[in-house]
Structure 1
Amino acid sequence: MPDTLSSPPRLILASSSRYRRALLERLCVPFDVMSPDVDETPLPGETPAATALRLAVAKARAVAETTESAETADAPRGVLVIGSDQVATFDGLQIGKPGTHENALAQLVAMQGREVEFHSALCLYDDRTGDTQTDDVVTRVRFRTLPEAELDAYLRAETPYDVAGSAKSEGLGIALLDTIDSDDPTALVGLPLIALTRMLRAAGFPLFAAHGGRA
């Protein structure tokens, strides 16, 4: 494990998602945010788990390459880059972000009374060693059967058009769900913090140093 207590590495979240940023802020550690330039189109025949993991790694590496090419005062400290991607699957098909009200309503109607599987993939890339830690945290969600008018009202209240599956479990979307089965309650929102803190500790990042403790 690298010795980073005296000079911890710079932490970067490779994401443009406001949801992931809000989750990472829970750890109360300093971090920067950079948007990765990655094509998120699934490859032909690729499984949802494979898509999520590939994109999580690609996002982390894309941002790491950007920081490696730029000379900064932080260079000697090293950089830890967090990449994450979430893919939902239903009836064997990948479910994307709806983008519009009409698409979101169609998603919710189709998933009523059914189970949807969310793959929340995570990557932590350490540019000091070249090590890459990855994990795929699976969450299984069963949707309730509700009148279409209620689904429409939910969408107009929350406008979750940038969320795979159209249901924001951290908000009013929790009322659409019957059950959530996962090892990490933050995974469904988009950034599995239990897995991430495990990876950060393995990389020697001092999670509690800013709060008067030693990692």
Structure 2
Amino acid sequence: MTTVAIIDYGMGNLRSVAKAVEHVADGQQVVVTSDPAVVRAAARVVFPGQGAMPDCMRELDARGLREAVIEAAHSKPFLGICIGQQMLFAHSAEGDVAGLGILPGEVVRFDDARMRGADGLRLKVPHMGWNEVWQSAAHPLWAGIPDGERFYFVHSYHVVPADAGLAAAHTDYGLRFTSAVARANIFAVQFHPEKSAAAGLRLLANFVRWAP
């Protein structure tokens, strides 16, 4: 049986991610794991998380998962969610900490003082709630998802890819930021598909069937 491994490095409640993936798994086994061997053996990998970047990187290393994550990101269908997207990049301004360096670029904070909506009113940070996701290019994970569909966000930092070609989608919140990235077998999103109703489930369903 094909296995989808959801990586557990101790940051955040993974129940909602696991339940959402199980709902669309189409007969595939879904396991939540902190065992590097299980990650290596899985057919596809989901890398979620929430919390502060320095804590996430520390806990990933404490569980011996760094190399297994890097190997998975180079070898099999790999979905990063929220801070699981941010950790793929080289550096984060949150705690001035190095990421995994799988993708080139950095993670920066929204500038609270300059965040203004179209009406000129100040926007709150963190960016929290539903917002539109505009697809930058066709991708199998966007199949059946309308351009401009709304997904659920909770974050104060966002990625800035060094290679513009990595961008798979953007979202506007005081500025235009990259809300999804894609390269080869990697797809990663800033929003939470597991909290994004039908559109989120469709993206997860596309992922468990994706054969890059």
- 1 or 2 for the larger relative contact order (CA 8 Å, sep ≥6)? 1
Larger Rg: 1
Structure number with the higher helix fraction is 1
TM normalised by structure 1 equals 0.31
TM normalised by structure 2 equals 0.31
